[in-house]
Structure formats: structure tokens, C-alpha cells
Amino acid sequence: MIKFGWKFIFQGTIAGIRDLIRMLTFRKPYYIPVVADPGTFAIMNSPDSKPGYMAIVPKDSSWENKCPARVCLMISFYRPVRFAHKVQCPALILLAEGGDPASHRKDEADSRQDEKWHVGEHVRRSF
């Protein structure tokens, strides 16, 4: 299970408020890291977040590891699964196993009447 420390919740709230104040006063956003090592404040800081995320960023990319801190105030309300029942076309729903936050959304995927495929050992080994 993923644990969210009060320290990081507090840091995210303060950073988000700081960014909102900057937005309201027409200043540049206050940024926070998107990914970081465990124990460091960022949007994603699990042990495999930084290596996994950086693996998909091209070496010559101009991407910067930052996002406006106001996302910290909105992220807990972001629940796209609320609208899943409105999807009328075939949908590919991928779920992670283990301690990933998405793993508890299996019920939503199971409630769909579409064909379901389950990842087998041969697919896991290919990653």
C-alpha cells in the first residue's frame, strides 16, 4: 500500500496555495518537481517513479521536471473513473497489480460488459 505522509501533504498544500497566490497576482507559477527520489517532495516519489518516468523522456528533450504547484490542490479530486460508465466505444483499460494506486479500480473495469483479457506470465516477462 502506498503511504502519503502528512509532511508531503502539508508541503503540497502550502506549495499549491503559494502558486495560487502567484497566479492571482499575475506572476509566474511556483513550480514543484514532477518526479523525485523517495523521501523528496514531488508529485511522484515512489522508488520506481523517477527511473521509470525518466526512461520515457528522450535524451534530447527540452522537458523540465516541473509542474505548477496548484496541481497539489486538485489532484485528490481527479477521478476520471467517475465518467467511465459514459464511454460508449470499446475501451482498453489497463490495471496495475500490487501497490499501485490504480489497482483498486479493478471493480470499475470488471463492471464493463466488454471482452476482458488478462496479462499472463509471458507478457510480464517481456517487459
Chain mean position to CA 101: 9
| Cα(50)–Cα(34) distance, integer angstroms | 9
Q: Is the pTM of this model over 0.75?
A: no
- C-beta neighbour count of 4 within 10 angstroms: 10
- C-beta neighbour count of 118 within 10 angstroms: 6
Q: What is the pLDDT of residue 100?
A: 47
Boundaries of every domain in the chain = 1-78, 80-127
Higher pLDDT, 70 or 115: 70
Higher pLDDT, 8 or 121: 8
Match 479493478 to its residue by C-alpha cell: 106
Q: pLDDT tens digits for 27-67?
A: 999 999 999 999 899 999 988 899 999 999 998 999 999 99
